Amino acid sequence: MIHLYDSFWSKLSEIEIDPYGIEKLKKFTEDKLINPISGDFPRWHDAYKNLPEIESIEHCEISDAIECTAKNLDNSILSQVNECYKQLIPWRKGPFDMFSTYIDSEWQSFMKWQRIEKHLPDMRYKTILDVGSGNGFYMFKMLKHNPKLVMGIDPGILQIIQFWSIEKYINSGFAVLPIIMNDFPEEITTFDMVFSMGVLYHRKSPIQHLKQLHNTLKTSGELILETLVVDGNESTCLIPTDRYAQMRNVWFLPSVSMLEIMLQRTGFTNIKCVDVSTTTITEQRTTEWMKFHSLAQFLNKDKTQTIEGYPPPTRATLLATKK
C-alpha cells in the first residue's frame, strides 16, 4: 500500500510545508501500514488489489453520492467491483455509486455537506487538512471547489482502504494518512483550512484538540468544526457517565456558547455558528452496507432522548479564524 502515497509525497514537497514534518508523516504512515494492527487487513487489502482496472471511465461526478460511470462494462467486471466493495463492509460514510454498485452507507453524509457547504470559505487553490476524515467522503466533496491539496488523517485502517478503493477511480490526487491528531507533526503549521468534523467529542481533552487544530493553520487560516452539542449557556457541558447513544468514547458535549468560549480561549477569532441540527433516522440508519444497529436503536421510542436518557444527538458547525 505504501507506494500509493508516492505521488502524494511529491505533491506535498511542492507546497510550503516543513520538510522535516513531511518526513515524520512518511514515517508514521509507513510504520502503520507495515505493521497494521487489524487481523482483517490482508482481506481488505486483497479486496482493494482485486478491484479491476477500468479504462472506459465516462465521468466521476460529485453529486449527493460520489459517482463513477463507465461505458460497456461486462457483467463479470461489474460483479467483481461489487464483490470487492462488499469485502470492505461496514461502510459508515457515503454513499458512493461506483459502476452500478450503490454503496448505501450508514450515514447519508451528503446531508451534512448540504447544511454546511454554503457557509464554507473559498476553497480554491487552498491547502486543506481533514482531521478524522474517515473514508474521505468529504474530501471527494471538496474536489468541486478546486483546492490545491487535501490531506485527511484517520487511524481507521478500513476507512483508509475504503478511501483508496474509491480514489482508484476518482484520481483526486488526495490522500488519507493513518495518523491520529496527537501524532501530527507540530512543525506543520501552514494549512489554509482545517476541518474537524465528528472528532471533538471523542477527545478526552477538547482544549488540546482545538490547540492542535490551531497549530496546523497559518495565521488567518480557517477552522471548520463540527461536533455534538447540548442546549444551554456558557456554563453548560454534558459529560455522559458512561455511554452516549451507545457510543463508549464520548466525553464532552458543550453548549454552542461554551464551544465559542473554548475557541476564543484557544486563539480563534471571527467565531460563527452556522448550523445546529438534530440527527434524524433518515440521515443515520442501518443498511445493507452497514448491518449493525444504528440511531433508531439508540433512541427511546418517541426519539426525544437517547436510550441512556440524554438529549438526542445534535450537531453544531462553527467557523473560526486563527488569530
Q: Which positions touch ligand SAM (CB under 6 A)?
A: 93, 109, 131-134, 153-156, 159, 180-181, 197-199, 202
Q: Which is nearer to ligand SAM, 69 or 251 (CB)?
A: 251
- The packing angle between helices 41-49 and 157-170, to 10°, is 0
What is the β-pairing status of strands 314-322 and 268-278? antiparallel
- In angstroms, give the least distance from the CB of 53 to ligand SAM: 29
Residue appearing with cell numbers 493553520: 217
Closest CA to 4 of 148, 180, 160, 133: 160
- In angstroms, give the least distance from the CB of 318 to ligand SAM: 14
- The values of phi and psi at residue 206, to 5°, are -65, -30
Q: Which is nearer to ligand SAM, 133 or 255 (CB)?
A: 133
DSSP secondary structure code for residue 299 in this structure: B
- In angstroms, give the least distance from the CB of 271 to ligand SAM: 20
- In angstroms, give the least distance from the CB of 56 to ligand SAM: 32
CB-based closest residue to ligand SAM: 132
E strand map for 44-119: 57-62, 66-70, 96-98, 101-103
Sheet order of strands, 217-228 included:
175-177, 149-153, 127-131, 191-197, 217-228, 314-322, 268-278
DSSP secondary structure code for residue 244 in this structure: B
Amino acid at 9: W
Q: Which is nearer to ligand SAM, 139 or 238 (CB)?
A: 139
- In angstroms, give the least distance from the CB of 55 to ligand SAM: 32
Q: Which is nearer to ligand SAM, 68 or 153 (CB)?
A: 153
- In angstroms, give the least distance from the CB of 137 to ligand SAM: 7
Q: Which is nearer to ligand SAM, 36 or 52 (CB)?
A: 36
Q: Which is nearer to ligand SAM, 73 or 111 (CB)?
A: 111
Closest CA to 179 of 9, 36, 32, 4: 32
